[in-house]
Chains A and B, each alone.
Chain A
Amino acid sequence: MRSLIFIFLFFLGQSTFAQENSTLSGTITDARSGETIIGAKVFFPEIRQGVTSNSYGFYSITIPADSHTVEIRVTGMETRTFLLDLSKNLELNVDMGGDIQEFEEIVVNAKADENTKSAQLGQIDLDIDQIKTLPAFMGEVDIIKTIQLLPGVSSAAEGGQGFYVRGGGPDQNLVLLDEAVVYNAAHLFGFFSVFNADAVKSVNLIKGGMPANFGGRMSSVLEVNMNEGNNKGYHIKGGIGAISSRLTLEGPIKKDRGSFIVSGRRTYIDLIMKAAIPETSPFYGSSYFFYDMNVKANYKISERDKIMFSGYYGKDLFSYANNEDDFQVDMPWGNGIMALRWNRILNDKLFMNVTGTFTDYQFSFISAQDEFQFSLNSGIRDYGGKIDFSYYANPLHKLKWGADYKFHTFTPMSVSAEQDTIEFDTGLAQKLFSHESAVYFLDEFDLTENFRINAGIRYSTFQHVGPFTRYIKGDGISTQDSLVEYPSGETIQFYHGLEPRISMRWMLKDKSSIKAGYSYNYQYVHLTSLSAVSLPTDIWYPTTSIARPQKGWQASIGYFRNFLENMLETSLEIYYKDLRNLIEYKEGALPGDNVNDNTDNLLTFGRGYSYGAELFLKKTYGKFTGWVGYTWSKTDRIFEELNEGNPFPAKYDRRHDLSVVGTYKLNARWLFSASFIYATGNTLTLPTSWYVQDQDLLFNYGQRNSTRMPAYHRLDVGATLYSKEYKIVTDPATGENLKKKKRFRSNWAFSVYNVYNRANPFFLYVDNDGDFLEGNFEISVKQVTLFPIIPSVTWNFEF
């Protein structure tokens, strides 16, 4: 029935505009670098209709055949205006930001009215240039930390990378780097993100009303697109900071046709540690560092075909040595990601993208002490392919459809241990194989002048296939442990489901709008965590016959209004979210329990819900820009086997979350920025009582997450000093002084993290000290704080 409705709507859109129409299509690029521009607005002022370019810079709009003025608007660039005879279809590729002066008009924010006009709720585009000007922790510009400053998004803990969107878990965010899934977006136990800001072109977060072309996660989509590289000339940029340095090289493969970019980053904490730990110390040899590299290349095969290759490889390596005990641990982990894409403009209304992806996340732990050796591996590897079509029927009607497939290989935990010639029984190396696929159809259309609907449906399937060994635990009395072996390729479990998505926008007379959305999502992968903090040891686990797919729905409604000619964007959104089949480890499970067993035998399943209100106020242009985000929310979990079946607050349940972010451009050389965060403290489980058993002091824990840490608040400030943009040269012929733009530019970025040195809680624990019989025994609650005030400075350059 649903498909009939879509077909009807499709033809409705077609028939209305069947006669005397012409299509204008093309690609919008940056004249300086040749990079395609995402979200450029192509606008016809006389008929007040327009379209924005997609994530490949492509646009298409079909309007009545006539002469039209068309404006191309890009944030921060001069608007270009063309007078076109659109009596027939026309292709118009536009270079933006060049020296063309005709019809000059400065538009500071091209997407200014998108806030109220688009049908999408809960979506935020972040300007990468603005991210770079915000205060940075230890001088490392960080996309994920900036995301955490948005309403509805909270951080896991001080400095942490895990982010929680509207009460969803950290595994419920679909993090995409050039359309390939990133499973672990963190370096150094979560203090830094894997995204090197120099290699990133755009960041888009969808936290509610997920469109049907995205799936596989329940809470949000974080789309990160990499720079494509300058196809006009070679450029180098980089930065030298307190703990790391970056270098990026970009240039044409063939001028105006193809380009590449290579960007690398490495920390030097290991060098500092090497200098700090003398050779005589038992800890000599302990070190930590991470590096990552982004590579992208693109080539325009023809006017209609373009291929792009994106790659990411990053690794963290932590080593710990205690030479006295002859003890050595190495802990490497990292992601390898590749995406190969082919864009084809099939005709002036139909755009196709085909993507092949490879994602690999591996974690290892290797330890040796004397003759004893232990190693552990865990990871996930995906091969995927997808195809997407975008059809621009007319300005009031856009369609998208496509299909998506992934082959997953999960290695939850593979352990080996040996001593001399003795090999310990650590069970079978567990591997789980599965096929995940989906098809979707999405239709955005204006039902009336003021009423826009974005409706879609996604059908997803998941198939767990052999080989697989299922451990069945006996009670040890009447039933014994047993194994069931599934041969290669055999379907062990199959799940499927329909995921309807809809969002609507109603434009009011005063240019404000009301939007509402509903989405239903399935999620077939789970992140299992034994600890209260995100760690690389957290294990990705697929849906199986025991671990059922997570599923849930979210409904949201919001009021959107802009003021002062779109300079001030405001919105108020409220949401309710219901989540099923969430997972947690059973009470008392230990990491070692994963050995000689299936991880899902250790899991318990429950549900959760979250509701809240988010207020967002953003000043988009002017000398001063920034935003204020405030969230009121409540997030609970209910697990039959945990907390005696009683509801308990999620650890990141926060009643209040406020962030204030601002940048002020004083002049061409100085820019100042600041951010302030206030958040209700995270919840945690602390012991409510103590007792003594066999002389040992033991603790008894009460209700789960019933204690709340003190509130978190912090102010960071930053300042950037840019080098002079122009130099004065004397013309040898005339002797005249001329202003010439410098090729080499640099800036000093100063940051102070935690300006007023607030001792924010990272975690609390109950400590005991002394001896009963000596009369000096004490029990107290201790708070651990990670980061005091941290100033940093980074020197950035480009030429």
Chain B
Amino acid sequence: MKHTFYITLTLLIFTSCTKEVEIDIPGYAEELVIDGVIETNAPPFVMISKTKDIYAPTDIDAFLNGFVSGATVTVSDGTNTVVLDEWCSDNLPPGAGPIAAQMFGISESELANYHICAYLTLDPSMSGQVGKTYLLTVELDGNTYEASTAIVQPTYFDSVWWKPEPSTPNHGFSWVYLTDPPTKGDAYKWEVKRINIGMDGEPIDQNFKVPFSPVFNDQFFNGLAFEFAYENPFAFETETPEEYLGLYPLGDTVVIKFSKMDAQVYEYLEKKYLQIQTAGNPFSTPTNIPNNISGGALGVWAGFSPSYDTLICQP
């Protein structure tokens, strides 16, 4: 169905023109944004920020000043409860680098150049475990926000491979074979990073990146076994010849992070990516993203159980 919208949009673009306008958008109210994640074998990590008016400044200072300090953040797995500490990107505890890099969107080596703060814990008892449900509580300015998420059983691919396209013998998609478990409600997220060694002697990608439509659930294929392909999202970042867009070149080595999540997190991500994909599309209905946080904050408290596979792009 999504294609319908894109095609229609394409048709409109043939005849339409776009210009910037100044228009009154009434009704701005500042809201809290909680962005928390807990993954298998990783500490809980929470960033708190506030929404900005559409016409507010968008420079780096505005971005950095948007983070909120001084909140009391606790995570409980039903047995243990831990208060998270506030850490900043230039002074992170050992082991928090990769997840902080992913959350801040800054490469791990550059973290020290910025001062962005978040909440996490070094307490090993709060490292994410499959099968557990984690309750997040944020207290700020007399308000309490709560959210709960589960780390569900992961599902592993049967196999992964690379296959060149007929028209491009040295470029192809990443393919996998998946057997969906028999119970309904499995939800998946696809992320990749390339670990080929670059000119600087480091892997070319530090952080995982999502493709255009990274989440899906088993609504249409519950219990089935089938193969499917995903595009290379990095190919859209650099100047890639049109015929190679979305394809991995022969010789790439790619880590596929395939995470599972609970239904509420899935719904959040589904609507989030829909919002991103349909931005500026007149045929979509503008909707806010439903989340799992009570108390009126935006964002999500997301538990993931990733499985990792390495794909070597060789026939």
- The answer to whether B20 touches A780, judged by C-beta atoms less than 8 angstroms apart, is yes
Chain B hits for A532, CB < 8 A: 282-285
B212 at the binding interface (Cβ < 8 Å): no
- The answer to whether A367 touches B3, judged by C-beta atoms less than 8 angstroms apart, is yes
Q: Which of B59, B227, B272 meets A777, CB within 8 Å?
A: B59
- The answer to whether A706 touches B272, judged by C-beta atoms less than 8 angstroms apart, is no
The interface bits of chain B over 91-111 (1 if a CB of A lies within 8 angstroms of the residue's CB, else 0) are 000000000000111100000
- The answer to whether B33 touches A691, judged by C-beta atoms less than 8 angstroms apart, is yes
The interface bits of chain A over 772-786 (1 if a CB of B lies within 8 angstroms of the residue's CB, else 0) are 110101111111111
Q: Which of A530, A783, A787 meets B285, CB within 8 Å?
A: A530
Q: Which of A701, A709, A778 meets B288, CB within 8 Å?
A: A701
A14 at the binding interface (Cβ < 8 Å): no
Chain A hits for B219, CB < 8 A: 425, 592, 595-596
Chain B hits for A595, CB < 8 A: 219-220
Chain A hits for B11, CB < 8 A: 189, 288, 318
A126 at the binding interface (Cβ < 8 Å): no
**Closest Cβ neighbor of B173 among chain A residues:** A370
Chain B hits for A701, CB < 8 A: 286-288
B279 at the binding interface (Cβ < 8 Å): yes
- The answer to whether B18 touches A782, judged by C-beta atoms less than 8 angstroms apart, is yes
Name B255-284 residues within 8 Å CB distance of A. Answer: 263, 270-272, 274-276, 279-284
B208 to chain A: closest CB distance in Å?
A: 11
The interface bits of chain A over 584-611 (1 if a CB of B lies within 8 angstroms of the residue's CB, else 0) are 0101111110011000000000000000
Given contacts A419-B226, A783-B18, contact A698 B54 (CB under 8 A): no
- The answer to whether A700 touches B18, judged by C-beta atoms less than 8 angstroms apart, is no
Given contacts A331-B7, A532-B282, A532-B285, contact A702 B28 (CB under 8 A): yes
Name B228-252 residues within 8 Å CB distance of A. Answer: 228, 242-243
A380 to B157, CA, bound (A): 43
**Closest Cβ neighbor of B226 among chain A residues:** A422
B300 at the binding interface (Cβ < 8 Å): yes
Q: Which of A698, A772, A780, A783 meets B272, CB within 8 Å?
A: A698
Surface stretch bound by A, among B45-53, B79-87, B126-134, B198-206: B45-53
Name B1-46 residues within 8 Å CB distance of A. Answer: 1, 3-5, 7-8, 10-12, 15-31, 33, 35, 37
Given contacts A367-B3, A778-B58, A781-B22, contact A689 B286 (CB under 8 A): no
A744 at the binding interface (Cβ < 8 Å): no
Given contacts A707-B26, A710-B23, A784-B18, contact A318 B285 (CB under 8 A): no
Given contacts A590-B274, A701-B287, contact A688 B27 (CB under 8 A): yes
A694 to B20, CA, bound (A): 28
- The answer to whether B283 touches A585, judged by C-beta atoms less than 8 angstroms apart, is no
B222 at the binding interface (Cβ < 8 Å): yes
A775 to B220, CA, bound (A): 43
- The answer to whether A773 touches B17, judged by C-beta atoms less than 8 angstroms apart, is no
- The answer to whether A320 touches B21, judged by C-beta atoms less than 8 angstroms apart, is no
- The answer to whether B24 touches A707, judged by C-beta atoms less than 8 angstroms apart, is yes
- The answer to whether A694 touches B35, judged by C-beta atoms less than 8 angstroms apart, is yes
B147 to chain A: closest CB distance in Å?
A: 13
Chain A hits for B222, CB < 8 A: 425
Chain B hits for A530, CB < 8 A: 283-285
A530 to B263, CA, bound (A): 23
B250 to chain A: closest CB distance in Å?
A: 18
- The answer to whether A784 touches B16, judged by C-beta atoms less than 8 angstroms apart, is yes
Chain B hits for A688, CB < 8 A: 25-29, 53-54
A786 to B299, CA, bound (A): 35
- The answer to whether A587 touches B280, judged by C-beta atoms less than 8 angstroms apart, is no
A329 at the binding interface (Cβ < 8 Å): yes
- The answer to whether A767 touches B279, judged by C-beta atoms less than 8 angstroms apart, is yes
- The answer to whether A762 touches B286, judged by C-beta atoms less than 8 angstroms apart, is no
- The answer to whether B23 touches A707, judged by C-beta atoms less than 8 angstroms apart, is yes
- The answer to whether A329 touches B25, judged by C-beta atoms less than 8 angstroms apart, is no
B143 to chain A: closest CB distance in Å?
A: 17
A358 at the binding interface (Cβ < 8 Å): no
Q: Which of A367, A700, A782, A788 meets B31, CB within 8 Å?
A: A700
- The answer to whether B58 touches A702, judged by C-beta atoms less than 8 angstroms apart, is no
Given contacts A320-B10, A779-B54, A784-B16, contact A693 B59 (CB under 8 A): no
B289 at the binding interface (Cβ < 8 Å): yes
A726 at the binding interface (Cβ < 8 Å): no
Chain B hits for A466, CB < 8 A: none
A690 at the binding interface (Cβ < 8 Å): yes
A233 at the binding interface (Cβ < 8 Å): no
A518 to B111, CA, bound (A): 71
B63 at the binding interface (Cβ < 8 Å): yes
Q: Which of A422, A777, A786, A788 meets B58, CB within 8 Å?
A: A777
B157 to chain A: closest CB distance in Å?
A: 16
- The answer to whether B283 touches A786, judged by C-beta atoms less than 8 angstroms apart, is no
Given contacts A692-B49, A781-B20, A781-B54, contact A786 B15 (CB under 8 A): yes
- The answer to whether A706 touches B27, judged by C-beta atoms less than 8 angstroms apart, is yes
- The answer to whether B50 touches A691, judged by C-beta atoms less than 8 angstroms apart, is yes
Chain A hits for B63, CB < 8 A: 692, 772, 777
Chain A hits for B279, CB < 8 A: 699, 765-767
A345 at the binding interface (Cβ < 8 Å): no
- The answer to whether B23 touches A764, judged by C-beta atoms less than 8 angstroms apart, is yes
A767 to B27, CA, bound (A): 19
**Closest Cβ neighbor of A367 among chain B residues:** B3
**Closest Cβ neighbor of B167 among chain A residues:** A324
A365 to B30, CA, bound (A): 42
- The answer to whether A331 touches B15, judged by C-beta atoms less than 8 angstroms apart, is no
Chain A hits for B197, CB < 8 A: none
**Closest Cβ neighbor of A532 among chain B residues:** B282
A686 at the binding interface (Cβ < 8 Å): yes
B298 at the binding interface (Cβ < 8 Å): yes
A424 at the binding interface (Cβ < 8 Å): yes
**Closest Cβ neighbor of A707 among chain B residues:** B25
A488 at the binding interface (Cβ < 8 Å): no
A318 to B25, CA, bound (A): 36
- The answer to whether A694 touches B103, judged by C-beta atoms less than 8 angstroms apart, is yes
- The answer to whether B31 touches A689, judged by C-beta atoms less than 8 angstroms apart, is yes
A759 at the binding interface (Cβ < 8 Å): yes
Chain B hits for A785, CB < 8 A: 16-19
- The answer to whether B289 touches A592, judged by C-beta atoms less than 8 angstroms apart, is no
Q: Which of B8, B54, B286 meets A535, CB within 8 Å?
A: B8
**Closest Cβ neighbor of B55 among chain A residues:** A779
Chain A hits for B21, CB < 8 A: 710, 761, 764, 781-783
Find the residue from B20, B104, B242 having the highest chain A CB count within 10 A: B20
B308 at the binding interface (Cβ < 8 Å): no
- The answer to whether B59 touches A426, judged by C-beta atoms less than 8 angstroms apart, is no
- The answer to whether A788 touches B17, judged by C-beta atoms less than 8 angstroms apart, is yes
A685 at the binding interface (Cβ < 8 Å): yes
- The answer to whether A783 touches B19, judged by C-beta atoms less than 8 angstroms apart, is yes
The interface bits of chain A over 85-124 (1 if a CB of B lies within 8 angstroms of the residue's CB, else 0) are 0000000000000000000000000000000000000000
A318 to B3, CA, bound (A): 13
B187 to chain A: closest CB distance in Å?
A: 13
- The answer to whether B105 touches A687, judged by C-beta atoms less than 8 angstroms apart, is no
A240 at the binding interface (Cβ < 8 Å): no
B224 at the binding interface (Cβ < 8 Å): yes
Chain B hits for A765, CB < 8 A: 279-282
B185 at the binding interface (Cβ < 8 Å): yes
Residue positions of A touching B, CB distance < 8 A = 189, 288, 318, 320, 324, 329, 331, 365, 367, 376, 417, 419, 422, 424-426, 476, 530-533, 535, 537, 585, 587-592, 595-596, 684-696, 698-703, 706-710, 759, 761-767, 772-773, 775, 777-788
New A-B pairs, 5, CB < 8 Å, besides A425-B221, A691-B49, A693-B33: A365-B1, A535-B283, A587-B290, A695-B105, A707-B26
11 A-B pairs with C-beta separation under 8 A: A189-B8, A687-B25, A687-B54, A693-B299, A696-B276, A702-B28, A707-B26, A708-B23, A777-B63, A781-B22, A784-B16
Smallest CB-CB A-B distances: 4 pairs: A702-B27, A695-B105, A765-B280, A689-B51
Residue positions of B touching A, CB distance < 8 A = 1, 3-5, 7-8, 10-12, 15-31, 33, 35, 37, 49-55, 58-60, 63, 66, 103-106, 167, 185, 219-222, 224, 226-228, 242-243, 263, 270-272, 274-276, 279-290, 298-300
